[in-house]
Every structure is written in structure tokens, then in C-alpha cells.
């Protein structure tokens, strides 16, 4: 049976704090000759407990992409349902140490678990002893002795249009991964063809507006300008948010391909224009602003 160095959590953001924890998991696993793993939950516990409008920073696929990029070997996806949510701290511990054969568990120093979050680190260490396992904790990461980096803070920063600070706390640019979908092809008539992504409804998106971006296609990065929002000038439905990117130096057909678009700098809020000519003129200015960012 596979033995693990295991960490446990929602891992919604994989920010710098998570990255420090995951680095320790990976390093300790290599040192001990064990496999590294993270236990994650589906659906997000907030959604299970009734906040059905909650949208995680990253989709499950995006989260897994980030987790594996740390060098982690295994992702243990656990169904977060009534049965799991009501596990006592002792039964939760048995699942970790007996069912998943964790020999070392690494979590944050304030980690809580089990029904009503009744279990704490001291309890987890006692349970680990009975299974001849160990528990280590890591301190939260913060900048300049400020509040610890957290997913909730990053969500707030993105909602308040503080992209640069959100990206700093993430340790990487906020991004959207999606499949390029055929749109109305209006961009072609405006001389600014775009690739269109329609993120799933459960994906958190930052403030609607125009951003300087880089899009990764088959491992290569291409600079561009991206609009996130409802396209009020050309779409009266006002119901489906899209991510539309004009790439500066790419003209190939990308329909049905998976791409990753990274948001680097906010340029302006989304707005409605009185005509397509006004929209075209503004897109030209937006593209110029984005190009200046990359100079």
C-alpha cells in the first residue's frame, strides 16, 4: 500500500502560503522516500454548507494544474458530502492515517478538522501517535509582518481591482484556463480578431474590464489585450460573461484548443459605447496601452 506525506485543505488559491506548505510536503516526501499528496474536497465546503453562489478562485482543473506544478505527485479528491462533513475528529483521523496511509501530515498551525471543526493539531498529533505517524505544522506567510496571505484577501483584492497586489500574494498572475469557442466574429470586422473563452459558471472572475494579458498556447506565451465582461456594446443579453483576447502576434485558428490567459495589468473598466466606430477606436487605445505595458 502506498505511503504518503500528506497535506489537507481546500487549496482554492495555491497562493504563496500554500506554496510554502506544498514545498515542504514535496521535500519531506523525497527525504523520507514516500509519495507526496494533497487531499482536496469536491465540492468546495462553502458550497456544500449552503453558499451556492460561491465561486472558487480557480476551477478544479485549474487548481489541479497548480498543485501538480509544485512537484506534488498525487491529488486525493474527496467527496465532501453529509457523511464526510459529519465525521468526528477521530474518524477523520482514521481516514487519513489508516485509509490513506499517511506517515507524515503537514498542515497549517491553526488547522481544524472533523464535525464542527472540533479537531485541532494536538488531537491530530495524538491520533498520529496511535498510527505510528507524525504531524508537522507550517507558519502562515505574510509580507512585512502584515496580515497572513489568504484566499479571502486575494478575492477581495481582485474584486477591488487591485490586480498587482493579488498577483503578488498569489505568487503568479491570476489566470483563466478555457477552450477557445467560436463567437460572433465581430472582432474581425473591427480589425481586432479575438479568441473567446466562456468560463464555467463556478469560476471566479475579477472586475469586468480590459487587461494587459499573456496567453499560453502550446507552451508559448503571446502578449495581448483582454476584455472580461458582458460586452454591452455588442450583446444586449447581459447574461454571459466572456473572456475575449486580441493577440498581438498570433493569427492561427485556435478553435477548440485549450489556452491559459494570465492577467497582468488592469487598463480600464468595461463600458458601453454608442457605436461600433467608438468601440473600435477604444480597442485601438486599449491595445496601445497593453503594448506599452510590455515595452
CA torsion sign for 23, 24, 28, 34 is: negative
**Residue 224: closest CA among 236, 232, 216:** 216
Active site amino acids: 244
- Report the Cα 17 to chain-centroid distance in Å: 14
Q: Angle at Cα 95 formed by Cα 90 and Cα 141, nearest 5°?
A: 85
Count the Cβ atoms, other than its own, within 10 Å of residue 165.
Answer: 15
How far apart CA 107 and CA 121 sit, in angstroms, is 9
> Bridge-partner residues for 258, per DSSP?
179
How far apart CA 140 and CA 94 sit, in angstroms, is 26
Secondary structure of residue 184 in the 3-state scheme: coil
Q: Could you tell me the strand order of the sheet in which 4-8 lies?
A: 74-79, 35-42, 4-8, 102-108, 134-138
- Report the Cα 76 to chain-centroid distance in Å: 17
**Residue 216: closest CA among 282, 285, 277, 262:** 262
Which residues are CB-contacts of 292 (< 8 A; sequence separation ≥ 6)? Answer: none
Amino acid at each position: 500500500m502506498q505511503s504518503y506525506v500528506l497535506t489537507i485543505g481546500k487549496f482554492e488559491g495555491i497562493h504563496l502560503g500554500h506554496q510554502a506548505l506544498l514545498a515542504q510536503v514535496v521535500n519531506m516526501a523525497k527525504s523520507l522516500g514516500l509519495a507526496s499528496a494533497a487531499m482536496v474536497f469536491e465540492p468546495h465546503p462553502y458550497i456544500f454548507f449552503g453558499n451556492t453562489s460561491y465561486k472558487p478562485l480557480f476551477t478544479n482543473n485549474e487548481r489541479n494544474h497548480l498543485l501538480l506544478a509544485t512537484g506534488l505527485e498525487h491529488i486525493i479528491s474527496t467527496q465532501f458530502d453529509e457523511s464526510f462533513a459529519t465525521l468526528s475528529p477521530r474518524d477523520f483521523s482514521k481516514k487519513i492515517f489508516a485509509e490513506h496511509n499517511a506517515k507524515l501530515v503537514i498542515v497549517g498551525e491553526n488547522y481544524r478538522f472533523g464535525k464542527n471543526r472540533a479537531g485541532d493539531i494536538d488531537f491530530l498529533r495524538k491520533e498520529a501517535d496511535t498510527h505510528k505517524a507524525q504531524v508537522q505544522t507550517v507558519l502562515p506567510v505574510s509580507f512585512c509582518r502584515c496580515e497572513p496571505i489568504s484566499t479571502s484577501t486575494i478575492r477581495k483584492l481582485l474584486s477591488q481591482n487591485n490586480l498587482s497586489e493579488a498577483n503578488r500574494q498569489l505568487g503568479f498572475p491570476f489566470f483563466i484556463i478555457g477552450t477557445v469557442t467560436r463567437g460572433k466574429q465581430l472582432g474581425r470586422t473591427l480589425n481586432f480578431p479575438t479568441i473567446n473563452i466562456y468560463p464555467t459558471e463556478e469560476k471566479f472572475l475579477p472586475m469586468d474590464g480590459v487587461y494587459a494579458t499573456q496567453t499560453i498556447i502550446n507552451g508559448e506565451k503571446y502578449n495581448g489585450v483582454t476584455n472580461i465582461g458582458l460586452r454591452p456594446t455588442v450583446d444586449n443579453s447581459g447574461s454571459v460573461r466572456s473572456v475575449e483576447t486580441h493577440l498581438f502576434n498570433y493569427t492561427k485558428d485556435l478553435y477548440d484548443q485549450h489556452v491559459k490567459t494570465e492577467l497582468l495589468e488592469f487598463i480600464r473598466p468595461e463600458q458601453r459605447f454608442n457605436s461600433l466606430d467608438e468601440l473600435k477606436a477604444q480597442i485601438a487605445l486599449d491595445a496601445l496601452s497593453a503594448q506599452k505595458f510590455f515595452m
